[in-house]
A and B are shown apart, each in its own frame.
Chain A
Amino acid sequence: MGILDGVGQGLAVALQPTNLLYVFIGVLIGTVIGVLPGLGPTATIALLLPLTYTIEPATAVILLAGIYYGSMYGGTITSVLLRLPGEAASVVTTFDGYQMAKHGRAGPALGIAAVGSFIGGVLAVVGLILLAPPLADLAVSFGPPEYVALTALGILMVTYLGSGSPLKSLSMAALGLLLATVGQDPITGTTRFTFGQVSLFDGVDFVAVAMGLFGVGEILHSLERTEKVHAVTQKIKHIWPTRQDFRDSAGAIGRGSVLGFVIGVLPGGGGVISSLASYALEKRRAKDPSRFGKGAIQGVAGPETANNASSTSAFIPLLTLGIPANVVLALIFGALLVQGITPGPQLITEEPEVFWGVIASMLIGNLMLLALNIPLVGVFVQLLRVRAGILAAFALVVTMAGVFSVNNDIFDMWVVLVFGVIGWLMKKTGFEPGPLVLAFVLGSIMERAFRQSMLLSGGSLDIFVTRPLSGGLLAVMAMVIVISFLAARRRRAVFEHVEPEDEDTDDVDAEQERAAGGDDSDGDSGRDGGTPKVAPLAAHRPAEGDPGAEAPRGGGDSGVPTPPPNEGRR
C-alpha cells in the first residue's frame, strides 16, 4: 500500500464520528491533566487503560495517544502561569515562560507554545508517515538477536536517562527484569516463581503493576502534599503572538521540531529530554544567551515544540518494531496486547486501520489542541482550583474498578495496591518507577528473544555479533557506555575550570544534560511539580546556567534538595 493510500485510509478511520469524539476526549483529558500538577500522562493513561478494552483497538490508541500529546500542550499553561511544570516535559518552560508572564507577556508565551507544539506535532506526524513504513519493511528481517540488542539498548538508555542516580535506576531496571521472569517460561512452558498461584501463571499483570506504581503511588504521594497552589488569575491578554514574536521563534520552532523528532525515536527518549536538549541548543545559538532565564521567547518556543514532536515520533519504534520507547508507549503497547494485537513489523499490513488511523488522528488532534488552547486558556486555568483530595479519591475508585475489569480477577486488585505502596515508597526514597516498568515490559521480550537466539545458534553467543544488524546495535550500545563514561570524566574536568565555555561537542553536551537533569520521559518528575524541592527543580540546574558547568553540582542525584535557581540568585 502506498503512503498516500495509507494516509487516505487513516483519515477515513480518524474522521469517523466515534473516533473524532475519542480524539477530542483524549486531547481534552490530556490538556486537563497537563494543567493539573498532580497528574501526568503516565498516571492518567495507566488509570484509564482498562476502560479502553471495550472499544475498538484503533479508537483506544487514538484516545491514549491524544492524552499523551494533549498533556504536552496542557503542561505549558501551569509552567507559564505558576512556574510549576504541569507535567515533566514542561519543566523547561518554567525558566522563560514564567518570566514572560511576570512581564505581562503570559499570552504570547502560551500562544507561541501552542503554535510551536502544533508545528512540531504536525511535522513529526509527517516524519512518522514517511519513516515508519520503510522501517517496518526493514524490521521484518529483525530476528531474535536483533530484538535482544534493541531491548538491551532500551533498558540501558532508560537507566542512563533517568533523573535519579544511575545506580538507583539500574537497580530499578534489575527489579523490573526480575519481575518479568515470574510466570510460565516462554520456551518450555514450565512455571517459575508462581508459588502455586494460578493467577501468576502468566506473570504479574503489567497493567496492574503500572497502575499501582504510577497511578496509586502517585495518588498517595500527592495526598502528602498540602501546600496550596496559587494560580495567576489575572486576565491573560494578547495570546496570539506578534509578528516579531513569530520572527524570533521561527528558528527555534524549526530546530525544536527536528531535535524533538530525533530524540523521540530513541529508546528512553522523548518528553523532558527533548525539551532540555532544545533549550540548551537555543541558548547556545542565541546571540545574547543572557536573555535566557529572563523571558526569552525562544526558550519557550523551542522546548515546547520539541516535546510535542518527540511525543509523536516515540510511536515509531512501537508501531514498527513492537518496542515501546518510553513508559507511556509501554502502556499503549499493553493496551494493544489486551486487544489481541501484537505491535510489530506486521502491524502496518495486518492492522492498517490501527496504524494509519492513529497517525491520521494525530493530525486532527493537534489541530483540535491548537483550537482548544488559544481561546480556552482561561478556562483551563480554573482547573487548578480542584482539590487534590477529591481528585485522588475519584482516581482511586476508577483504578480499582478498572483493573478488575481487565481479567475479572481480584488478584490483580491486590497487585495494584501492593505496587501502589511500593510506588509511593519509591517516590519518597528517590527511586524512579520508569526504569522498573520499562525493564519489566522489555524484559519478557528480551528473555524470549535471547533464548530463541540460543536455540537458533545451538547455544553459541556468536549469533549476536555475526549478524550485521544486531552487531551494529550492540556496537551503538558500547558507544553509549563509552561516551557516557567520557562525558562523566569530562564533566569532572570542566568543573575545575573557572569559566567553562561551550567548547563541548553537541553530543557530549546533550549527554551531560541527560545524565544531569534528564528524566526518563515518562512525565514522572513533572508530577512532582507541586513540591519545589524534588526532581523538576533539580533539573533546572543544567539548563539554567551553562550545561557543562552546572552539571556536576546539580546532577549526581536530583533527589538532593536544591534551591530554586531564582531564589538562589537573589
Chain B
Amino acid sequence: MRSTRALSALLLLCSALAGCASQAGSEDAAEYPSEDVRLLVPYSAGGPTDIAARALGRYMESELGRPVVVENLPGASGANSYVELISSEPDGHTLSMTALPTAVLNYLANDVGYTREDFAPVGVVTQVPSGIVVPAGSPHQDLESLFAAARQDPQAISVGTPGATNTHAAETRRITQLYDVPLTVVPFEGATQVQTALLGGNVSAGFINLSQDALPAIESGDLRVLAVGSREPLPYVDAPTLVELGYPELVQSTTTFGVLAPAGTPEEIVQRLEEILRNASEDEAVVEALDPRYVPEKFIGSDGLADLFVETEETFRDVVGD
C-alpha cells in the first residue's frame, strides 16, 4: 500500500516535471488532462497494435499523471474505432491508435463516415516494413526472375496478401499498373494463411509484413525474401529494397502505427502528446516493448504523420476498388 502511494507520488512528480518541460503557456494545456484518457485500439486485444498501445499507454500514464485506459474497439478495418474517436469531445481525453495505409484505404474504398480531415495526427509509434517472399523451394532466386515469369505468362504468378483492403494488395496492383508486370492478387485472411499457402505451394509469392510473427519463417529459411518495401535496406533482413532494384515508386507498403486525436483538439494538447510520444520513442523500456526493429530511428511527429496521410491518399486513390 505504502509503496503504491510512494510510486504514485513519484509519478505525479514526474508528470509535473514533464508538464513544466513542455509548458506551452496555455490554460487548456496546463489543465490537461483533467480526467482519464481513453486510448482506443482499432484491433482486438492481444494483437500487435494492442500490445503497442498498452506499452505506450503505461508510459503516457506516467507522463500525464492520469490513468490511460486502453479500449479495444475492433471491427470494420478500424472504422469502428475511428468513428468513436471523431464523435468524442476533441479535448485530448480520447485518442486512438491507427494503422496506415489501412485507415486511408478504408475511407477511399467505402463510405465509413470519416476522412483524414477528421483527425488531428499526433505522431508515429512504429513502422513495420513489408517484403515480397517466396517459399524455399521456389525457382525464383530474385525479383527479376519472378517478374520475368509473370511477363511471360500473365496467369503464372499469384501473390498472396494478408487481406483485401490493406497495403499489400494495393501495392501489388500498383506493381502491375506502374511497371506492367501482370500479377494475380489473392487475398487471404491474415499473414498466417498466406504463409500456409506459400508453404503448400498454392501461391507463387506473398507480399506480407515483416513483423515479429513472420521473421522466424524467414530466419529458418522456409521463406525467402526477394525484396523489401522500405526506403532504406533493413539491417535484419538480407534482401535489396524495391528502390534499389529499380522500382523507385514502390515505397508505400510499410505499415505505420500511430496515434490520432479528433480534429479540433487544441494545438497545445496535440503538441504535449507529441512530445510524450517523442520521449517514449527514446525510453528504453517502451522501445523494448515495441520491438526496437520497428521504432523509427528518427521520430515522426504530428506533421510527419499528417504528410503520410496525404501521401498515402494520393498514392492509393487510383488503385482501390478495381
Residues of A with C-beta under 8 A to B83: 198
Q: Do A201 and B111 contact each other (CB < 8 Å), given the known contacts A53-B45, A143-B200, A448-B189?
A: no
B181 contacts A by Cβ under 8 Å: no
Which of A336-344, A415-423, A494-502 is the contact stretch? A336-344
* In the bound complex, CA of A448 to CA of B194 (Å): 13
Taking CB atoms and an 8 Å cut-off, the chain A residues in 134-148 that contact chain B are 140-144
Residues of A with C-beta under 8 A to B110: 184, 189-191, 201
Asked if A409 and B44 make an inter-chain contact with CB atoms under 8 angstroms apart, the answer reads no
* In the bound complex, CA of A202 to CA of B44 (Å): 13
Query: What does the 1/0 interface line of A316-337 toward B look like (CB < 8 Å)?
Result: 0000000000000000000000
Query: What does the 1/0 interface line of B184-201 toward A look like (CB < 8 Å)?
Result: 111111101101110111
A2 contacts B by Cβ under 8 Å: no
A461 contacts B by Cβ under 8 Å: no
Partner of B80, one of A196, A338, A409: A409
* In the bound complex, CA of A201 to CA of B111 (Å): 11
CB closest chain-A residue, reference B185:
A455
Most chain A CB within 10 A, of B44, B74, B76, B109, is at B76
Residues of B with C-beta under 8 A to A196: 111
**Shortest distance between the CB of B74 and any CB in chain A (Å):** 6
| Secondary structure call for the B interface | loop
Query: What does the 1/0 interface line of B33-47 toward A look like (CB < 8 Å)?
Result: 000000000001111
B292 contacts A by Cβ under 8 Å: no
Asked if A199 and B80 make an inter-chain contact with CB atoms under 8 angstroms apart, the answer reads yes
Asked if B79 and A201 make an inter-chain contact with CB atoms under 8 angstroms apart, the answer reads yes
Asked if B75 and A140 make an inter-chain contact with CB atoms under 8 angstroms apart, the answer reads no
Residues of B with C-beta under 8 A to A53: 45
Asked if B77 and A184 make an inter-chain contact with CB atoms under 8 angstroms apart, the answer reads yes
Residues of B with C-beta under 8 A to A185: 164
* In the bound complex, CA of A408 to CA of B46 (Å): 15
* In the bound complex, CA of A142 to CA of B197 (Å): 8
**Shortest distance between the CB of A182 and any CB in chain B (Å):** 12
A345 contacts B by Cβ under 8 Å: yes
**Shortest distance between the CB of A202 and any CB in chain B (Å):** 5
Query: What does the 1/0 interface line of B70-89 toward A look like (CB < 8 Å)?
Result: 01111111011001000000
Q: Do A198 and B113 contact each other (CB < 8 Å), given the known contacts A340-B47, A458-B155?
A: yes
B158 contacts A by Cβ under 8 Å: yes
**Shortest distance between the CB of A522 and any CB in chain B (Å):** 25
Apart from the given pairs A344-B193, A452-B186, A455-B185, 13 other A-B contacts in the complex at a CB distance below 8 Å: A141-B200, A184-B77, A185-B164, A186-B164, A186-B189, A201-B75, A201-B79, A201-B80, A201-B112, A346-B196, A409-B73, A409-B75, A458-B155
Q: List 17 A-B contacts (CB under 8 A).
A: A141-B202, A143-B202, A184-B77, A185-B164, A186-B164, A186-B187, A186-B189, A188-B321, A189-B110, A190-B321, A201-B76, A201-B80, A340-B46, A345-B196, A346-B195, A350-B213, A407-B74
